[in-house]
Structure 1
């Protein structure tokens, strides 16, 4: 299992896209720690115009991880990319996947309660 940090803020649709692609492309189990930047002025200054930002345990950051190509390259460089999933995504199935544990009702995305994904 790997631990990644996602610098995010409430209602960030790009962050949702990154999480969805991460769930699809990661070839290893991921523990995602979400850091709300709006509650800290220093984080707002550092990440406010860059979110979503994904960081690994070494502090290496990925901006614009909602772009599948960037995320796939970042994961591959660390040996964490599910190559088969990436091939499938590039083969015409590249629309944004639904995040695991999410349900769409009436055009709105709802997350399942913790532990019920």
Structure 2
């Protein structure tokens, strides 16, 4: 089992997004230690504008891990990426269904050239 730290703060929706992506994309059992940065001024100074920050056992950090591409790359570099789940998520993010039909990405948004645009 791998041990990871997540530098976070109460009510961080981006941290929740990262945790949900971890459940989907990580194929290796892991334990996630949540570190509340608001309890320590030094942690607020270091991580305040970068959370969520995910840290592996070697101390390698990933900030902005709520971005699926960044998290997938970070997990793949460590051999922890569930490739099938990543491919399925990429199809979902691009708006492509299994039948190859393109749909809207999210309510009010479309995907063009890998970027999401509102309405």
TM-score (norm: length of structure 1): 0.78
Deviation string 1:14-56 (CA, Å, 9 cap, x unpaired) is: 0000000011000101100000000001100000010000000
Work out the number of aligned pairs and report it: 95
In the TM superposition, structure 1's runs of 4+ consecutive aligned residues that sit over 4 Å from their partners are: none
RMSD value, Cα: 1.3
Deviation string 1:65-98 (CA, Å, 9 cap, x unpaired) is: 0000000000000000000100110112679xxx
CA distance in 2, matches of 1:43, 1:92: 35
Q: Residue 6 of structure 1 corresponds to which residue in structure 2?
A: 6
SS at match of 1:89: helix
Q: Residue 37 of structure 2 corresponds to which residue in structure 1?
A: 37
Q: Residue 108 of structure 2 corresponds to which residue in structure 1?
A: none
Shift in alpha-carbon separation, 1:43–1:94, aligned structure 2, 3 A: farther
> Is 1:72 equivalent to 2:44 in the alignment?
no
Q: Tell which structure's C-alpha radius of gyration is larger.
A: 2
TM-score (norm: length of structure 2): 0.77
CA distance in 2, matches of 1:78, 1:70: 13
Residue ranges of structure 2 left out of the alignment (5+ in a row): 96-119
